[in-house]
Chain A
Amino acid sequence: MNQPEEWSNEFEQELTRAMRGVDPPEGFADRVMVRAHAAGPVRAKVLWMPRRVRMWAGGAIAAALLAGVFFGEEAHLRHQREEAAQQQFELAMRITGRTLEHVQQQLSDAGVRFGN
């Protein structure tokens, strides 16, 4: 009498033997090839466009890049000019402040009194 464990192993062996691969119906590869051709390569489909459109698209991309570079450079220069003007203004204010202090000191030494 077979034990359950042996039965299980035996059944597994039978199952492995019974579960052989199944061939697809005749002409399967041909049908896949037909569908593959009909679908076309996805990447090529996305990238493909008429020559005229391609030229315009190329031109538009180049123009966009140039405009980006130009406006970027322009913004950078404007920022630099603003910074330089700010520094000059601060320097002028410092000089003016010192000059006023100097004049005030001289007037004070000369005995000129302001206010009360």
Chain B
Amino acid sequence: MAIADDEFRRLIETHQRMVFSIAMRVTGDPSTAEEVAQDVFLELHRGVERLANADHIRFWLRRVAVHRSTDALRRRAHRPEAAAEEWEEDHSLEDDAPISSISLQARLDELLRALPEPMRVVVVLRYQEEMLPDEIARMLGKSVASVKSHLHHGLKLLRRKAAITMKEYVREPA
């Protein structure tokens, strides 16, 4: 049996922020994110009767949003602006630089785009969705060790990138 319009609209309004945010942060592009988020909800519309309850719907939406976003990213053959290894080199001194939440927020999308896809997905699920590593591992079908490794390296790269770009950012207005 198909879902009623008002019930479906209620589901969209409840979860659109989460689905769009995941798509936005993983793809790094607003129009792709909108397309991905729409596709996710259309997929929900086609199969909502298979989902048992609100928690199941939320879990399903998160998982499908991540998968559709990474699919879109691969279709675009988008590459992070720098390879992970690049940020491992020669920036150890920058680690001590203080980073404010305001400047971090302003540069967040740019910083995330610098991460390779698997790290980006894990970082988004951990810090945006506030999921635990074992929940992320279950959702992505990966081992907890692999998720923790992606988190550790992703965080390290983000911090280094942030330390460098924030300095530039602070200098820019002057």
Binding site for B on A (CB under 8 A): 1-2, 4, 7-8, 11-12, 14-25, 28-29, 31-33, 35-36, 39, 41-44
Contacts and interface: CB of A to CB of B under 8 A. Distances in A.
Given A19-B127, A28-B12, A2 B38 contact: no
Interface of A is mostly: helix
Nearest to A43: B2
Given A7-B96, A18-B101, A23-B17, 20 more contacts: A1-B96, A7-B95, A14-B104, A15-B123, A15-B127, A17-B105, A19-B108, A21-B17, A21-B128, A23-B20, A24-B20, A28-B12, A28-B20, A28-B37, A28-B38, A32-B38, A33-B5, A33-B9, A41-B46, A44-B2
A24 B99 contact: no
Please indicate which of the listed interface residues A16, A18, A29, A39 has the most CB atoms of chain B within 10 Å of its own CB.
A18
**Top 9 closest A-B pairs, CB basis?**
A41-B2, A24-B20, A18-B105, A19-B128, A21-B21, A21-B17, A29-B12, A18-B104, A14-B101
B130 interface: yes
A2 B24 CA distance: 33
A54 B127 CA distance: 54
Contacts of B13: 29
A43 B30 CA distance: 32
B8 interface: yes
Contacts of B34: 24-25, 28
Interface residues of B, number: 39
B95 A12 contact: no
Contacts of B96: 1-2, 7
B66 interface: no
Given A28-B37, A32-B41, A44-B2, A15 B104 contact: yes
A31 to B, nearest CB: 6
A44 B41 CA distance: 18
B53 interface: no
Nearest to B49: A43
A25 B31 CA distance: 10
Contact of B8 (A20, A33, A39, A43): A33
B171 to A, nearest CB: 20
Contacts of A42: 46
Contacts of A12: 127, 155
B159 A8 contact: yes
